[in-house]
Structure 1
Amino acid sequence: MPLLDHLGITVEDLPRAVAQFEPVLTALGMERTDGDASVSWYVSDESEIILFPAREAGTGPHRHGTVGWQHLAFAVDSREEVDRLHDIATSAGWTAVRPPKLYPRFNERYYASFVEDDNGIRIEFMHNPPKESQA
């Protein structure tokens, strides 16, 4: 059983959010399914990310650092994959918060980038190989 079953994210403009999330989640190997009032992406029918339209217009964007959502980190297999996903996200309209780089404050192997969409939703692409692997 997966640790995380699903994550629902409320967005101001569903079509715009789908346009930003689609290339990123597809590149991560997720498959899209459209619902009546939402759009979902699945990984092997185990974990799901769902975008929902806001119940009240004009309530966004989320402000990073306030109570609530901080960021979601996607672990990937290489630094090159971090770079590739960062490029896909910024090409889809995500804003680069931090470009791909090493984060020695975590450890000497931690390589990551952070991007944010129009709704203030922040995601991280990260590669943190085991200590014995210097990949």
Structure 2
Amino acid sequence: MIDHIGMPVRDIARATAFYLKALKPLGIGLIMEVPAELTGNGPAVGFGAEGKPFFWIGEGQVAEGSHVHVAFAASSRAAVDAFYQAALAAGGKDNGAPGLRPHYHANYYGAFVLDPDGNNIEAVCHGPA
């Protein structure tokens, strides 16, 4: 089981603003901010739920052509839809509208957006409609 994941972003303020809006429909919010003086690199921000950060972004060098795919669990298909709309409104780019992906399994309902750094961010619900 993964405890947390982190990825570099070019502009921490821009990325933080994006993720605050995009992850809110999934019940994920800002938990912790760590200044550059404590990271030994750029500032970092931890998003999570119930007081525990599990998704970290940190300002640093992003290699060209190097992108990450992160999928967040959604409690319902409506939450997937809300994530998609919020992410687009926050400046994300469409990378797959909400819908069933039966090639994964019959109830796989997901939506994909590209964040400001080109990372493929997904919300997915595995339950039936």
Q: What TM-score comes out, normalization by structure 2 length?
A: 0.81
Percentage of pairs with the same residue: 30
Equivalent positions of 1:1-135 (< 5 A) are 3-32=1-30, 33-36=32-35, 37-54=43-60, 56=61, 59-64=62-67, 69=68, 71-129=69-127, 134-135=128-129
Name the aligned partner's letter for residue 117 of structure 1: D
More helix by share: 2
Structure 1 vs Structure 2 CA RMSD: 1.9
Larger Rg: 1
CA deviation map 1:91-129 (0-9, x unaligned) = 001111011111121222211111111211111111112
Asked whether the equivalents of residues 104 and 110 of structure 1 are also in contact (C-alpha less than 8 Å), the reply is yes
CA distance in 1 between counterparts of 2:9 and 2:44 reads 10
Q: What TM-score comes out, normalization by structure 1 length?
A: 0.78
Give unmatched runs, 5+ long, in structure 2.
36-42
CA distance in 1 between counterparts of 2:64 and 2:15 reads 12
More strand by share: 2
Asked whether the equivalents of residues 23 and 83 of structure 2 are also in contact (C-alpha less than 8 Å), the reply is no
SS in 2 for 1:42: strand
Name the aligned partner's letter for residue 7 of structure 1: I
Asked whether the equivalents of residues 12 and 60 of structure 1 are also in contact (C-alpha less than 8 Å), the reply is no
SS in 1 for 2:80: helix
Name the aligned partner's letter for residue 6 of structure 1: H
CA deviation map 1:21-64 (0-9, x unaligned) = 1112333223312221211112224442111111x4xx455444
Instruction: Compute the displacement of 1:81 (Å).
Output: 1.3
Number of residue equivalences: 121
CA 1:15–1:89 in structure 2 vs 1: closer, same or farther (change >3 Å)?
same
SS in 2 for 1:106: coil
CA distance in 1 between counterparts of 2:48 and 2:76 reads 22
